[in-house]
Amino acid sequence: MTPPYAKGLHEVGDGVYAYLQPDGGWGWSNAGLVVDGDASLLVDTLFDLRLTGEMLDAMRAATPAAASIDTLVNTHANGDHCFGNELVAGARIVASRAGAKEMDDAPPELLGSFVKAAPDLGEVGAYIESIFGPFEFDGITLTPPTETFDGELALTVGGRTVQLYELGPAHTRGDVIAYLPDERVVFTGDLLFHGGHPVVWAGPVSNWIAACDRIVALDAVTVVPGHGPVTDNGAVRNLESYLEYLTAEARVRYDAGLTPLEAARDISLADYEAWGEAERLVVNVTTLYRDFGGDPPSDVVSLFTQMAELARSS
């Protein structure tokens, strides 16, 4: 069941919902809800409390089971998938062990300080403000998982099974997907960006390619990405092809001695010109250079500075 790409809650299966936030760019993530009788499970919260509150209100209006969420699954540690956790009071919060450990790396206070400092940071500040400015990071209490796992974990929602698979490190160190075998619906978290360039914060890229194969092997009918419209396995294959292409192209430029930024400017994206956030390419090339054995600058400031420069020159 493929809904239109419009903001709000959409039913994608019997008692299975996707909450979508166009345009799917930086911070505009998706979430999911699974209900059976009075039982409910939420897949991810959103980037701030206002957005998460709006989402929870829409879910409560759609089904009484959402009045009190039993279980919350965080697919990974990025704030646009967990900063709203505190609003799901009393829920069991589940994530991979690696994902839970990573949540302390970029707390809301850090992102908030970047946005507040942006006016004094020139071009990189303007870039940071453009992507993170719409969100409100003040007043968020980082609320970590209450339970972690490694590998696989089967959860029940009433009489329904939700299978969690840890497929990271890839996008982040602890990426998890949530699969409903009876409905053949999978929530991929940010292992799928649909309509935008992915960003490989952790890698290795080969793990992300393997994760794409694992997702496709589930043979889901409905694929809910972390960002972008609801889709099917064709989008997963397109992402896999992108990662394979990028690996080959980056290797040539790594061997030629180009910097990640030089390589990102040189690699053709003609086959992906419709995808947003093309500046993320420099992060992906940096991660690939690291995979190849190099040691390029990969601190947050360097990466955002290079993304801002690439976005400006594109």
Distance CA 102, CA 93 (A): 15
pLDDT of residue 313: 86
**Can you give the C-alpha Rg of the chain in angstroms?**
19
pLDDT digits (tens, 9 = 90+) for 120-139: 999 999 999 999 999 999 99
pLDDT tens sequence across 6-31 = 999 999 999 999 999 999 999 999 99
| 8-state DSSP, 21 | -
Q: What is the pLDDT of residues 223-258, one digit of tens each?
A: 999 999 999 999 999 999 999 999 999 999 999 999
> Does residue 252 sit within a domain?
no
Cα–Cα distance list, 165 to 19, 74, 96, 150, 207 (Å): 21, 12, 9, 9, 14
**CA–CA separation, 177 vs 21, rounded Å?**
19
Tell me the pLDDT band of 171, cut-offs 50, 70 and 90.
very high
Report how many domains make up the chain. Answer: 1
Average pLDDT, the chain: 97
Give the predicted TM-score (pTM) of the model.
Answer: 0.97
**Does residue 253 belong to any structural domain of this protein?**
no
Asked, for residue 134, whether it belongs to a domain, the answer is yes
The CA distance from 310 to 304, in Å, is 10
Say if 68 falls within a structural domain.
Answer: yes
Span 145-172, average pLDDT: 98
| Pairing of β 71-73 and β 39-43 | parallel
Best CA proximity match to 28, nearest among 49, 7, 12? 7
- Examine residue 163 and state whether it is found in any structural domain, yes or no: yes
DSSP label at 79?
G
Name the residue range of residue 20's domain: 8-232
Residue 72 is assigned to a structural domain of this protein: yes
CATH number at residue 59: 3.60.15.10
- For strands 176-180 and 160-166, give the pairing: antiparallel
How far, in Å, CA of 71 to CA of 35, rounded?
11
Render pLDDT for 48-100 as a digit per residue (tens, 0 to 9).
999 999 999 999 999 999 999 999 999 999 999 999 999 999 999 999 999 99
> Over pLDDT 70: what percentage of the chain?
100
Asked whether residue 308 is assigned to any structural domain, the reply reads no
155, part of any domain: yes
Which H helix or E strand runs over 286?
Answer: helix 281-291
Residue 222: its H or E element: strand 222-224
What the block records as the tokens of 271 is 């086959």
Residue type, 161: T
Spell out the residues 6+ positions from residue 262 whose beta carbon is closer than 8 angstroms to its own: 253
Q: Secondary structure of the chain: what % helix, strand, coil (to 5)?
A: 40, 20, 40
